Amino acid sequence: MILTVTPNPSLDRTYELPSLDRGRVLRAAGDRIDPGGRGVGVSRAAAAAGVPTTAVLPLGGAPGVLLAELLGGQGVNVTAVSIAGQTRSNIALAEPDGTLTKINAAGPKLSAQESGLLLDTVRAARADASWIAGCGSLPGGLAPGWYADLVAAARAAGVRVALDASGPALLAALPARPDVITSDTSGLAASTGRPVSTLGEAVAAARELHALGAGAVLACLGRDGLLLVDQRGAHHGTTEPVEDVRSATGARGAALAGFLIAGGDGPGALRSALAHAEAARRLPGPAMPAPSDLRPDRVRITRDLPPDLPLTAPGTP
């Protein structure tokens, strides 16, 4: 069972627009509401793959109720921590050419009691978990060291832990030694203070985070595939070009879910992560792939990494 913790979940409202014209009244060609948050995405991808999953979420107000209902309808078991504030709602504006404009709310501020209750709830729910995945931004009221406490609690219980975080929250958690962390080029750059514009620079940044305490670093390089750095060295995974990309919204959560489903270790897990991410890009909106959607034959894993290969989406510190 994969247990996910999303400290700042959201309801994601997407409106499809013919064009985004400022200062005018716009009529949407379509709209949808989906459960959002990085950990929520991991749970949704696990459920779509037939893997039992529980999402631990601080939820408040009508948006929180709707979020739990939507996840339940997708096969995700929800363990809610009731909070006084209201679960945030994010807005995405999608244009026909694939341009996506997102407006993310800050979210509620958790009290010290709610912060402690969230961690206690994870401790109580971890018994059947093979992995705990803590994902996403921390809301107001949670100190940067909150993820470090989560990692320490998981390791004390003998449960492997994955972390998808950035900035001070990630750096504070590394000494607690999470089994795997996920990032992207921007996150690698921000966490190490170095530019990440080539594959070689991405490897160097990931190795630095590995040396600081991460058991493995899974870096999402967008169109340039996935990078895995661990005690074995560095592996780079790519797929054949996806000509029918429909959405990249769920790719990162799908990648981490695929990695954990395949054991969370080594090139085989990297292949699974990339197959899940690639399948998610071929699906509409934030839909997550089922096993029948996966095409692992399209994945290529190599240790022959060209260090000067420029990245399509470089990161700056």
**In angstroms, rounded to a whole number, what is the distance separating the alpha carbons of residues 106 and 216?**
30
Instruction: Dump pLDDT digits (tens) for 35-59.
Output: 999 999 999 999 999 999 999 999 9
**Banded model confidence at residue 137, pLDDT cuts 50, 70, 90:** very high
The stretch 180-201 carries a mean pLDDT of 95
At 231 the pLDDT is 96
* Residue bearing the bigger pLDDT, 92 or 61: 61
Q: Residue 208 pLDDT > 90, yes or no? A: yes
At 30 the pLDDT is 87
Instruction: Dump pLDDT digits (tens) for 140-153.
Output: 999 999 999 999 99
Mean residue pLDDT of the chain comes to 93
The share of the chain scoring above pLDDT 70, in percent, equals: 97
**Banded model confidence at residue 78, pLDDT cuts 50, 70, 90:** very high
Q: Residue 82 pLDDT > 90, yes or no? A: yes
At 286 the pLDDT is 72
At 161 the pLDDT is 98
At 281 the pLDDT is 83
The stretch 253-279 carries a mean pLDDT of 96
Q: Residue 314 pLDDT > 80, yes or no? A: yes
At 244 the pLDDT is 59
Q: What's the sign of the alpha-carbon dihedral 295, 297, 302, 306? A: negative
Lowest mean per-residue pLDDT among 49-53, 90-94, 114-118, 128-132: 90-94
Q: Residue 77 pLDDT > 80, yes or no? A: yes
The stretch 289-297 carries a mean pLDDT of 90
User: Can you list the pairs that 204-209 forms with residues at least 24 positions away whose Cβ atoms lie under 8 Å?
Assistant: 206/234, 207/234, 209/170, 209/174, 209/181, 209/183
**Banded model confidence at residue 95, pLDDT cuts 50, 70, 90:** confident
Domains and CATH numbers, the chain: 1-165 (3.40.1190.20), 179-317 (3.40.1190.20)
Q: Residue 246 pLDDT > 70, yes or no? A: no
| Contact yes or no for 58/7 (Cβ under 8 A) | yes
| Contact yes or no for 290/186 (Cβ under 8 A) | no
Q: Which of these, 90, 95, 91, 92, lies nearest to 17 by C-alpha position?
A: 95
Q: Which residues pair with 34 in a beta bridge?
A: 12
At 43 the pLDDT is 97
Lowest mean per-residue pLDDT among 4-8, 107-111, 294-298: 294-298
For 231-309, list the strands marked E by DSSP.
233-239, 299-302
**In angstroms, rounded to a whole number, what is the distance separating the alpha carbons of residues 46 and 3?**
10
Q: Residue 276 pLDDT > 90, yes or no? A: yes
Burial zone of 238 (CB within 10 Å; 0-12 exposed, 13-18 middle, 19+ buried) = middle
Structure tokens at 208: 């630095």
